Structure formats: structure tokens, C-alpha cells
Structure 1
Amino acid sequence: MAFGTLVDETLHGFFQGGSVFSPAAVMRRQKAREQALSLGRELGCSASEPTQLLTCLREKPAENINAAQTKLLAVSGPLEAWAPVVDGVVVEEEPSTALRSGHFLSAPLFLGSSAEDGLISRAKNIKNFEQLQGRADSKTAFYEALSNSLGGDDANVFVKEAATWFYSLHHSPTPAGYNVFSRALENATRDFFITCPSVSMASFWASNTRSSVYMYHLPGDMTHTSTDLSMPLDVQYVFGVPHVPEMRGLFTSTERTLSLQIMTYTASFIKSGNPNLPLSGSTASFGEVLPPWPQFLPHPSGQNYKELSPALRNRNGLQASHCSFWSQYVPALSFSTGKHLCKNSVGELETSQNPAAEPVPSSDFSASVSQRPPKSEKDAYN
């Protein structure tokens, strides 16, 4: 989700959940057509002519369309999401291409992500489908979803094996085995499509503009609430959902306080381009009310972000080893094995950070990997 605000003729940028460097930012026209035809067939709309297909789909109830789409995502992989098509009219060129070509206006940027962001809930839908197919005791679901996300049948098998190994480091094996890979798929989805592209966007903006950048992340331990996560929790906090009368009871008093704090930061940024500046009319010093929010700076030790938890801690290096895996190790592995990933895939992240760089040797990545204590069966997939 992205939008801009214009205050006193000054533009401010605001991104939630990913960035223009995400592989899901745009999709090919042919891919969009294939998905539309698949959705139509699932709903009994057999017409292949675009106008007739659109008319048929518009007659279907929204809940039927959502159910059909969920099934298709379970079959093809949760990463096969809908996205804008570069048609040369509404979307003239790929946003990442526009940025690297200098076709943008400099403005203060506020962006971030949640551990349970948009596409993550779709990854979970694979579990039920795979169990029905009798394949719950294998890597099949993970491999198929990862293959679809990294280029379909042309995906590099070495990359799939590496991703399976890397994202299974944090989970202990179970008798069924599937819990490991279902959770690994969620984590790979989050990093590949949302978190790491956000870091890439922050890094690019800080390095190529004179504008300030402020990044946040809502950690996983903040997402286990009774609220409906069909909408990412960071979005709910920003727009004050915990304070809506009919939703208030779904949040704790701590979560409602956090929402007010996040709304204050956000409103300050929208007004001034800086979340640390108090709103006009405030009688209290901003520093007495909220802890300062550091800028994201264009060097490795300066990749600061605000953790959206009650303590509002300042952190550094969001998912550093995971993003290094996608932006450095995977391109190097693909290069060394003689097969390159398709356009708008992993290489997009690598080139967005350093377009002129050669593939980084795998030793640079391996030094950054550290194993954490394995998670329990219950924690691996709830």
C-alpha cells in the first residue's frame, strides 16, 4: 500500500507493506491474462474474450470470487498475486526502472512492514490444500510455491534447495515434516516480497536523494492478537482501527495506546516530513511523549528502523542475513550454476541496491548466517 501527501506544496511519500522493488510490484500482461482466465474457469466463466469474461466475473458474488482466488493461490502458490500491468498508459514503465532512471521526485519517505504482512496469510492457505492432496509429509508445497515465485519451470533448482535449507535453519524437524516447510514458506514470502524490498527501497532513497527516510517494522510477537489479520496490523494501528467502537474490544489497552503513538508519529510525518516534530497546538514536548525516531542512513551501520512494539525501540539492520541471502547469495549462486532467474525476480533486489555490481561471492553471505535456537512444533505452525 502506498500513497503520497501534499502539504504546503511539499510531497511526502508513504509506503506500507513492500515497495516498488518487490517482484510483485507489477506483472506481465500475459500473466495477468492467464490468471484472469483461470479465475474465470473456476467460477464457470468460460469465455476467453476479455469483455465477455469481465461481464461474467462482475455477476459473481464477491465471496465466491475470493474463495475461488484462494483455491487458485493454494494450487499455484501463495506468491501468485495480482499486480498492476505496465500498459504504457496508466502505468508507463516499471516503477523500479523509473527510479533507476532518475524519473522521480525527491521527498521525505516513511515506509515499513509487518511480520504478518499481506501475502503471508496466503502462504498459510497451502497447508490445508496440500493435506487434502495427501502431500502434507513432504517438501512438495514449498518447492512448488517457491518454483512459481522464482520463475516457474525455469527456476534454478539450486536456488530452491538453498532457500529450503536456509529457511529451515530456524525450525526443528518434526515427524510430519510439513510444519517446517509451511512456516519456511511464510518466512520466505515475507522476506522476498515485502521486508527485503522495503529495505532496498529505503537504501535506494537514502543513497540517491537528499530526503530523509524513516523505516519501521512490526515484529512477529506483536501480531498474535484476537484481531482480524486480513488487514496487516500496522495498517490497522496507523488508521486507528483499535479505537473504532465496534473493534475496540478486540485490542488490549496497551495496543490501543500503541496505536495512538503510531498515529501521532504518522500525522507528524504527513504534516512536516519528520515523525519527530510535534503537531501544531501541542503543549507537551515531543521528546517527553514519544521516543525519537532515527533516520535510515545510506550505509550498513545506519540502516535504522523503529520497532512498532510497546517499547518503541530503535533497531538496526532489519532481517540483514535474510536480505543478504536474496540480494547477494542467490544471484551469485544463480550465476555460478549457469542459470539466471527471470526478470522481476531475485535479481531485481540485487540490482536495485547496486546496479553495477558483480555477483557477490557466497563467502560474504555465509559469514552473516547464524543459527538461532530451533522453534517448537507448536510455534512452527499455529
Structure 2
Amino acid sequence: MVYIHGGNFVHMSGGSLLYDGSVLSQKGEVIVVNVDYRLGALGFLVTGSGDGDAVGNYGILDQRQALKWVKENIKAFGGEPGRVTLFGQSAGAQSAMIHLASEESSALFHNAIIQSSPFSIPYKTHAEAIILGAHFASLLNCTARDINCLRQKNSVDIAQAQFISRGKLSSLRYLEEFEPWGPWVDGVTVKAEPITAMDKGFFQKKPVMIGTTSEETRIYIYNAWDKPIDTVVYTAAILATHPNHAVEIMYEYPPDEPQDQRNNLAVLATDFIFGCATRHVTRKMLDYGVSDVWLYIYDHAFSFPGWGNMTFCQGHVCHGSEVPFVFQSAGRGGFKYTPDELSLSDLIISYWSNFAKTGDPVGMPGSGVKAVPDWPRYHVEIQQKQWPYQHFRTPKSFVDPKYNAPYCDFWDKVGYDN
């Protein structure tokens, strides 16, 4: 199981204690490989398209090189080169989807687990990437395409310029500003925008497990606005994000909390960017002939104080809430699971590892994997009636046949362009 970490393409490391794979490896009886890749400007800077220019998407190429290494070397560690599962969360999930759409990456893995990919956040165009690169260079007192000047700067200056440049305007697309450093659509390494790639069938037909948490964007909304927002700001955010359907969206998600609209905005954004966009993607997979697709919703707010000073996520299922349960790594941070939480984590590890070993989270007859409750896969007949999720929560997880269906039906009608 090869894991690509998240972190907005600028933060975190595969060596983080949060991603310690020892429990997943031991309980799931799998080999876990965590990879690092170049982040921020070092991984995604674009200065132009000529000889000597930085052309971006280096972080994605790093990941592919790691997959090649695994294919060539994992047998020496007791692994199977013909049974590699790629999994990732957030930016790592976006990365996994890029590899799923890549012919060059296709031969390097066999299954994919997509945890919380923000499908409605667009990738940069070449022009937008150039503008961001110019802001970055200016902050380092270099001209936009002077690679030699940029290479003379030390890591501290680069990190500071990278951080400040994130706040500079490089796109008129509102959501793009939430992920300023990251992939751009070059048509080769990155085929197309995330939703567009799925709509056009730009992906390999491999077994996929895919899902989100129930309150994905709360962490982003409350970080962006550290004070209550009124209806005017709420309306402005909708207009900036989806101007062609703003009235319909306001009708579907009315501002019913006059003192503070942040929770309403988080519910709306979670559906649009994550939850409903993910359901849309699973339907496209079926349309293009992928027969092995499993969808989940993670809906448990952990009991321990793992959010630190982000107290607005305590008691909520924010983006990333499932990660310490996939890896059962909370103990590395000095936290302790309740008995119900430990059972939930064990269940998730069983599904994830069964999928890695057999291509099915439940396992296959005679496979010898740990027995788990049924998790229906999707097929054309079931699509006409319902869209069941594996609903992860305590004290007991269950199959939810129509989770959030009316709102996702709405977003399927108005579309995910922004």
C-alpha cells in the first residue's frame, strides 16, 4: 500500500507520525510505503515553457518515480509488485486521481483509495501558474524567468516567498485561491481539470474505493473567517464561486443563521467541493465501464483533543478526521481511543487492507482475509435506484442507501464548474 500524504501541496511529510504505518501494516498484514515529494514552489513552480524554465508538476513526477521504485524493489521486502494499492488523502487523493488518469502511471499500481479529494477545486492554467511564479520570483528580488537567480536563494527565503505569494492574486477563479501551489493542466502529466477528466473518461479502469468526511470544509471556512460572517458575506462567497447559479444555490442553502453564516457556508461547500462531487465522479466511473467502485462517508468526530488550537473542529468531522483511524496512529500523539473508536479503526483497517489484497474491501471467497460486514459495490442496475455509502461512525457503521441524496441531485443539475 503506497500512501501519498496531503497538506495542500505545501505541508506535511510522509514521515509524519500521523501516517505511521506500523499498526496498519501489522493488523492489515500489508506492507505500507509512505512517499515524500517536492512541495510548494520546489514541486510546482512554473516560470515558462522554454529551455531552462521551471515547468511545474515535479511533485507528481516524484510520486510516479516512487511508484516505479516500489514496482522494482518491493519484492525484496516481501511484497507483490503485481498487487500495489495507491492511496492518499486530500492533496494525496488529488495526486492519486492524477495517476489514475495517467497512462505512464497506470502500470505501476492496481487499485486506488481516494480519501477526500476536493474535486471542484480547479487546477491552474499555464497562465495562472506563470503569474504565481512571477509573484514568487518578485518576492525573492528575481525577475520572473531568472532561474539562476532563484537557485541562489536559501531555503528560509524560499519558504517565506512561497507563503506570501499564496496570498497574491493569480486567478479570477475563487476556489483556486484555496490551493495556489499545486498541479497545473499541462495535458501530459495532468490531463485535465479533476471533474473534466472524469466527465471525459480520462482515467484507467481500476478498482476504486472513494469517499469523504461529513464536514470537510469546516476547517477551511473557520480558518478563512475567524469571526462570524453575515448574510452579505455569505452571498458574496456564493456569487464568487458559482455566479451562474447563485440564486438557485441560495434557495437550496438559505442563510438561516443571521448572526453567523459560517456553518451554512461549510455545509454548502462540503457538498459542492467534496461530497456531491465525489458521488458525481463515481457515477462517471460507472458510465465509462468501471465495475468495481465502493463509496463511503466518514462521520465520526474523534473524542480526543487532536485539533489543537483549531477548536472549531473539536466535536466535528473536519477534513482529515479519518486519517488517524486509517493508520490507528493517535497514540503516537499521546491520545487514546475509546473502545468504540478502536473498533471503528479496526474495521477501517480491515476494509482498506482487504481491498489492497483482493481488490474488494469485503474480500473474496477463499482469500483468507478478515471477515467484515458487507459493503455493496456499484453497478448500473443499482444506480437507477440508490447510491449506497458505507457510513463510518460509532457505535456502529452501516450501509446508507441514500446519504445526502437530495442535495447531491441538486449539484448534479447545476454542475460543478466554477
TM bucket normalised to smaller? 0.5 to 0.7
Deviation at 1:235, TM superposition (A): 2.6
Contact 1:110 / 1:213 at 8 angstroms: preserved in 2? yes
- Provide Cα deviations, 1:289-340, integer angstroms capped at 9, x if missing partner: x321112343242311101112111102232222222221x36xxxxxxxxx
Contact 1:227 / 1:250 at 8 angstroms: preserved in 2? no
Deviation at 1:189, TM superposition (A): 1.7
Separation in structure 2 between the aligned mates of residue 239 and residue 204 of structure 1, nearest angstrom:
29
Q: Is 2:213 the partner of 1:127?
A: no
The answer for the alignment partner of 2:387 in structure 1 is: 303
Alignment partner of 1:249: what SS?
coil
Separation in structure 1 between the aligned mates of residue 269 and residue 235 of structure 2, nearest angstrom:
13
Separation in structure 2 between the aligned mates of residue 256 and residue 64 of structure 1, nearest angstrom:
42
Q: Specify which of 166, 177, 183 is matched with residue 84 of structure 1.
A: 183
Call closer, same or farther: CA 1:39–1:148 in 2, change over 3 Å.
farther
Contact 1:108 / 1:273 at 8 angstroms: preserved in 2? yes
Contact 1:199 / 1:318 at 8 angstroms: preserved in 2? no
Separation in structure 2 between the aligned mates of residue 34 and residue 145 of structure 1, nearest angstrom:
23
Q: Specify which of 217, 222, 231 is matched with residue 139 of structure 1.
A: 231
Q: Is 2:366 the partner of 1:291?
A: no
Separation in structure 2 between the aligned mates of residue 46 and residue 217 of structure 1, nearest angstrom:
47
Separation in structure 1 between the aligned mates of residue 144 and residue 358 of structure 2, nearest angstrom:
49
Alignment partner of 2:212: what SS?
strand
Alignment partner of 1:15: what SS?
strand
Aligned residue pairs, count: 301
Separation in structure 2 between the aligned mates of residue 66 and residue 127 of structure 1, nearest angstrom:
18
The answer for the alignment partner of 1:269 in structure 2 is: 355
Q: Specify which of 289, 300, 319 is matched with residue 404 of structure 2.
A: 319
Separation in structure 2 between the aligned mates of residue 100 and residue 268 of structure 1, nearest angstrom:
29
Output aligned runs, 1:29-178, within 5 Å.
29-37=126-134, 44-45=139-140, 47-51=142-146, 55=151, 58-60=155-157, 62=159, 69=166, 80=177, 81-82=179-180, 83-94=182-193, 96-117=195-216, 119-128=217-226, 131=227, 138-150=230-242, 155-156=243-244, 159-168=245-254, 171-173=256-258, 177=259
**One-letter amino acid of the counterpart of residue 305, structure 1:** Y
Output aligned runs, 1:106-255, within 5 Å.
106-117=205-216, 119-128=217-226, 131=227, 138-150=230-242, 155-156=243-244, 159-168=245-254, 171-173=256-258, 177=259, 179-180=260-261, 182-219=262-299, 222=301, 225-228=304-307, 232-242=320-330, 245-255=331-341
The answer for the alignment partner of 1:360 in structure 2 is: none
Contact 1:79 / 1:148 at 8 angstroms: preserved in 2? no
The answer for the alignment partner of 1:345 in structure 2 is: 417
Call closer, same or farther: CA 1:260–1:211 in 2, change over 3 Å.
same
What's the RMSD between the two structures over aligned residues? 3.9
Separation in structure 2 between the aligned mates of residue 46 and residue 250 of structure 1, nearest angstrom:
48
Alignment partner of 1:246: what SS?
helix
Call closer, same or farther: CA 1:60–1:250 in 2, change over 3 Å.
farther
Gaps of 5+ in 2: 1-91, 308-312
TM-score, length basis structure 2: 0.60
Contact 2:124 / 2:184 at 8 angstroms: preserved in 1? yes
Gaps of 5+ in 1: 332-343, 347-382
Alignment partner of 1:88: what SS?
coil
Contact 2:123 / 2:184 at 8 angstroms: preserved in 1? yes
Deviation at 1:208, TM superposition (A): 2.4
Call closer, same or farther: CA 1:224–1:194 in 2, change over 3 Å.
farther
Structure number with the bigger relative contact order (C-alpha 8 A, sep ≥ 6) is 1
Bigger shift: 94-103 or 249-258? Answer: 94-103
Separation in structure 2 between the aligned mates of residue 186 and residue 29 of structure 1, nearest angstrom:
30
Contact 2:198 / 2:285 at 8 angstroms: preserved in 1? no
Call closer, same or farther: CA 1:116–1:33 in 2, change over 3 Å.
farther
Alignment partner of 2:111: what SS?
strand
TM-score, length basis structure 1: 0.65
Contact 2:117 / 2:274 at 8 angstroms: preserved in 1? yes
Separation in structure 2 between the aligned mates of residue 300 and residue 57 of structure 1, nearest angstrom:
57
Deviation at 1:277, TM superposition (A): 1.3
